[in-house]
């Protein structure tokens, strides 16, 4: 059912059930009045992060120690932490609380193939794409599994986060080494997929675990895959790409928005590096078209990610390569945006049409079971 309560936009005064109380500004005001409403947007993210004792925004102390892992480029004051919460300035140097080769804030589980992966419809595990070089079967890899690796930190602050529980105090098992993770690979493990949160703030850990796992499985197929917001430093992205390219895996970019103002509103962080990194990967993807090396996805958030925004994202992708697979994902109300409705079927179909009109050749609606029939 559509949320019957109305929230008043602090920008224009209009009320709508498609405005969240956690972000009380309508889509039009975000796009056209950012300067006027920025104080409200910052307030939304400060409130969200205060719940988990995280820095309200990326620190910018010119005298602080600098971290270059991601787009936020934190400058951290003595005794304070960076935006992801994993790096602290201790005596003028970065103290890595997690995310190194020896300690990652991470958990994992075995997910039988075929699995509910963003890229399952174009990947070797879901349909045998790339057989026999990158897949164990001509069809779905029944009898094999994905090692699903959840990293418990993030470089974005998405108010709509579908996996927000990682922010609660260490619920997934504490610190584990990259060696521990690599040893979790079994003979029936066909792929490793890193997600979260986001793997970005702990890429040193994930890259080391991948290399160890691939060395141990050098005589068989073991694909390395990633789901990410794409905001990492280019040098780290290159290492991720090499692991996926050579193993038959893929990199799945969550293109949350195209409009930077909307990304700042919803995620608290710019999307400029995400788009730049995506452009870089598109060029690499042309060297291994099968199985697809790069895919994209967008969460269709009622009231905030409409057909126009999806068209802009899809147009951006199509301008680089029309064949890039693009998944449109249904939204489930949770975290700070728990008061919004689920994505309606009409909304999803509108977004699907927009993506195709923008020129993309491979588009799919995911999480169909979450769609509502409300219009």
Gyration radius of the chain's alpha carbons: 20
Residue 174 domain-assigned? Answer: yes
Domain of residue 295 covers 104-370
Number of structural domains found in the chain: 1
Residue 1 reports pLDDT greater than 60: no
Strand, coil or helix: 326: strand
9: its two tokens: 């936009």
247: Cβ contacts below 8 Å, ≥ 6 apart: 134, 214, 221, 222, 223, 224
The distance from CA 256 to its chain's CA centroid, rounded to whole angstroms, is: 8
In this prediction, residues 31-39 reach a mean pLDDT of 93
- CATH number where 124 lies: 3.20.20.70
Q: 83, 55 in Cβ contact below 8 A?
A: yes
In this prediction, residues 49-61 reach a mean pLDDT of 95
| Whole-number percent of the chain with pLDDT over 90 | 93
Residue 44 domain-assigned? Answer: no
pLDDT of residue 223: 98
Residue 21 domain-assigned? Answer: no
Residue 327 domain-assigned? Answer: yes
Residue 84 domain-assigned? Answer: no
Q: Which residue has the tokens 């008043």?
A: 8
Residue 182 domain-assigned? Answer: yes
pLDDT one-digit tens code per residue, 224-242: 999 999 999 999 999 999 9
pLDDT one-digit tens code per residue, 143-197: 999 999 999 999 999 999 999 998 885 544 479 999 999 999 999 999 999 999 9
pLDDT of residue 172: 43
pLDDT of residue 139: 95
pLDDT one-digit tens code per residue, 298-331: 999 999 999 999 999 999 999 999 999 999 999 9
Residue 212 domain-assigned? Answer: yes
In this prediction, residues 263-281 reach a mean pLDDT of 98
Q: Burial of 372 by CB count in 10 Å (0-12 exposed, 13-18 middle, 19+ buried)?
A: middle
Residue 244 domain-assigned? Answer: yes
Phi, psi angle pair for 154, to nearest 5°: -155, 155
Instruction: Pick the more confident residue, 90 or 117.
Output: 90
In this prediction, residues 344-353 reach a mean pLDDT of 97
């Amino acid at each position: 059912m559509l949320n019957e309560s109305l929230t008043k936009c602090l920008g224009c005064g209009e009320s709508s059930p498609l405005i969240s109380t956690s972000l009380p500004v309508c889509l039009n005001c975000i796009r056209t009045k950012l300067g006027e409403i920025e104080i409200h947007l910052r307030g939304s993210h400060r409130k969200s992060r205060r719940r988990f004792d995280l820095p309200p925004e990326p620190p910018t102390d010119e005298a602080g120690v600098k971290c270059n892992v991601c787009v936020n480029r934190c400058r951290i004051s003595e005794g304070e932490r960076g935006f992801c919460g994993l790096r602290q300035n201790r005596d003028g140097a970065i103290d890595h609380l997690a995310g190194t080769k020896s300690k990652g804030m991470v958990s994992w589980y075995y997910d039988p193939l075929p699995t509910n992966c963003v890229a399952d419809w174009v990947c070797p595990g879901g349909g045998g794409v790339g057989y026999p070089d990158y897949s164990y079967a001509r069809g779905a890899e029944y009898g094999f599994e994905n090692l699903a690796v959840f990293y418990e930190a993030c470089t974005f602050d998405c108010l709509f986060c579908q996996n927000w529980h990682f922010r609660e105090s260490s619920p997934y098992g504490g610190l584990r080494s990259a060696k521990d993770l690599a040893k979790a690979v079994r003979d029936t493990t066909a792929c490793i997929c890193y997600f979260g949160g986001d793997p970005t703030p702990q890429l040193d850990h994930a890259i080391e675990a991948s290399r160890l796992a691939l060395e141990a499985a050098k005589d068989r197929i073991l694909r390395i895959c990633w789901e990410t917001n794409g905001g990492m430093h280019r040098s780290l992205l290159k290492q991720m790409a090499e692991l996926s390219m050579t193993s038959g895996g893929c990199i799945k970019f969550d293109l949350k928005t195209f409009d930077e103002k909307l990304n700042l509103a919803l995620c608290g962080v710019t999307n400029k590096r995400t788009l730049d990194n995506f452009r870089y990967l598109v060029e690499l993807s042309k060297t291994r078209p099968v199985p697809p090396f790069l895919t994209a996805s967008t969460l269709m958030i009622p009231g905030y990610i409409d057909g126009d925004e999806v068209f802009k994202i899809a147009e951006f992708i199509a301008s680089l390569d029309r064949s890039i697979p693009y998944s449109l994902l249904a939204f489930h109300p949770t975290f700070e945006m728990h008061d919004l409705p689920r994505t309606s079927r009409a909304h999803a179909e509108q977004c699907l049409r927009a993506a195709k009109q923008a020129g993309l050749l491979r588009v799919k609606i995911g999480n169909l079971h979450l769609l509502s029939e409300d219009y």
